[in-house]
Structure 1
């Protein structure tokens, strides 16, 4: 049965608009895109469009989706999706963390996703290093926190420090619901991050190698401590034996 490309595009767009920080949400959208891989270029353009049209919370969620999407596309051996994302990754980052500072809250999240994509060999170390250098100028700083205006005639565009405000930021209001939603989604992302830190493959050899790498080399102090502990155990054993006698 023939599918309607317009309908596929609209359904995928809706999924992107309603993404949350949960893994299930990202995987559902990724499965949908892979199901209609014949429309890969069209669906990739949907991702870019939604990144540039939605609020910063949604853009952060789409960034998380991209991580899962590229991983799943690689596993299912549909590399065109991955190649298009590699090609447009700078455009993606610019949308999630715009140069004007409005996406400063997303910098940390973007860095984590980029690091993950690099570890999965989806992005090169050179690309990640280049993007990370650009992100340094977009990190949160005190200038982004000065939202109060001194008393002045209506229409004044200066802060308490007397510094002219960014005209793009002027008049920008963050909805309370968006703030609460962002807090909840950041909690979900941090929860997943903590879980991933404890994830092991299930192979005892891998777990042993990990533990072995974390243990420091044996030094002279270790032998001295071991000898002292052995002497202490012998002394305690003699004491117990004397008490029994």
Structure 2
């Protein structure tokens, strides 16, 4: 049996009156919240991180991770690296040069195709980077040694080709010779003609102490990496096996020389042994001198 219908439930509800549409609402696009960071702000933050680099790995990794996070601005951030290399002092250039090594290493390990752009752009502008870190005017002569180390590391990690590194090495050799000539001219040496010495690079005491401390920190970290042993079961054995060269003719020649040296030492020890018969018929029981028995017995 169906329940009786209630009169209020069957009442038709008239449609609600709608206000006329606003012309401003129809013409304006929907408001969305933008999650993209301001490119200018990203450049400024990355520039400050490059200026604040030091010998610690933490500062280099922090700046590298920031650049990898904003890979959509890879061109702008790469230009920031070049600008800071060309505008800052010798110590900052050295820190950025070491930063490039960590940066490319992290970019290769990171997932995503956008990170490879950093490696490609650095390979393209590596000569410009070297010119900024160790310029030909002699102002960056102290950075030539570290530039060679970083280039060799990048070559070992297949970031740079061997031919490119060899060409840059030849340029660096010429700059070392040029720096030595400039130093000799500044000291008044040469062909006797009066020369105008170049203006030396002025560094205050704080910059010199900072460079010494940073170099000490890098050398300490380098020694730690040298003695580091892989955590695998036979990691130390595999490391020694890889570092050991193949057996060649030089190795056989060295072994033969060591054998002859050992034979000579053995013969000398045999002849000097008191238990052996000496020349002239001396025995272990008595000693003779010019054929006369001294009557001295050896214990």
For the criterion TM > 0.5, the same-fold answer is yes
Corresponding position: 1:200 with 2:229: yes
Looking at structure 2, the residues matched to 187 and 146 of structure 1 have their Cα atoms a distance apart, in angstroms, of: 29
Deviation at 1:205, TM superposition (A): 3.3
Counterpart selection for 1:100 from 119, 137, 143: 137
Counterpart selection for 1:51 from 79, 82, 85: 85
What is the aligned-residue RMSD (CA, Å)? Answer: 2.6
Deviation at 1:37, TM superposition (A): 0.7
Structure 1 residues 106-150: Cα deviation after superposition (integer angstroms, max 9, x where no partner): 0110111111111111111111111111000222754555697xx
Deviation at 1:171, TM superposition (A): 6.6
Deviation at 1:211, TM superposition (A): 2.5
Match of 2:215 in 1: 186
Q: Would the aligned equivalents of 2:229 and 2:236 in 1 still touch at CA under 8 Å?
A: yes
Q: Which structure would you say has the larger RCO, counting Cα contacts within 8 Å and 6 or more residues apart?
A: 1
Structure 2 unaligned residues grouped into runs of 5+: 1-34, 267-299
Structure 2 residue matching 1:173: 3-state secondary structure:
coil
Structural mapping, 1:124-139, within 5 Å? 124-139=161-176
Looking at structure 1, the residues matched to 184 and 171 of structure 2 have their Cα atoms a distance apart, in angstroms, of: 23
Corresponding position: 1:83 with 2:120: yes
Distance 1:185 1:145, change over 3 A: farther
Structure 1 residue matching 2:196: 3-state secondary structure:
coil
Looking at structure 1, the residues matched to 98 and 72 of structure 2 have their Cα atoms a distance apart, in angstroms, of: 23
The normalised TM-score by structure 2 is 0.65
Q: Would the aligned equivalents of 2:68 and 2:107 in 1 still touch at CA under 8 Å?
A: yes
Structural mapping, 1:116-155, within 5 Å? 116-139=153-176, 142-143=180-181, 145=183
Q: Higher helix proportion, which one?
A: 1
Looking at structure 2, the residues matched to 91 and 214 of structure 1 have their Cα atoms a distance apart, in angstroms, of: 37
Match of 2:150 in 1: 113
Q: Would the aligned equivalents of 2:51 and 2:84 in 1 still touch at CA under 8 Å?
A: yes
Structural mapping, 1:218-237, within 5 Å? 219=255
Q: Would the aligned equivalents of 2:139 and 2:201 in 1 still touch at CA under 8 Å?
A: no
Structure 1 unaligned residues grouped into runs of 5+: 149-158, 229-245
Structure 1 residue matching 2:234: 3-state secondary structure:
helix
Counterpart selection for 2:62 from 5, 9, 28: 28
Looking at structure 2, the residues matched to 61 and 7 of structure 1 have their Cα atoms a distance apart, in angstroms, of: 23
Looking at structure 2, the residues matched to 196 and 209 of structure 1 have their Cα atoms a distance apart, in angstroms, of: 16
Structure 1 residues 196-219: Cα deviation after superposition (integer angstroms, max 9, x where no partner): 212232224342133345498795
Tell me the matched-pair count.
Answer: 213
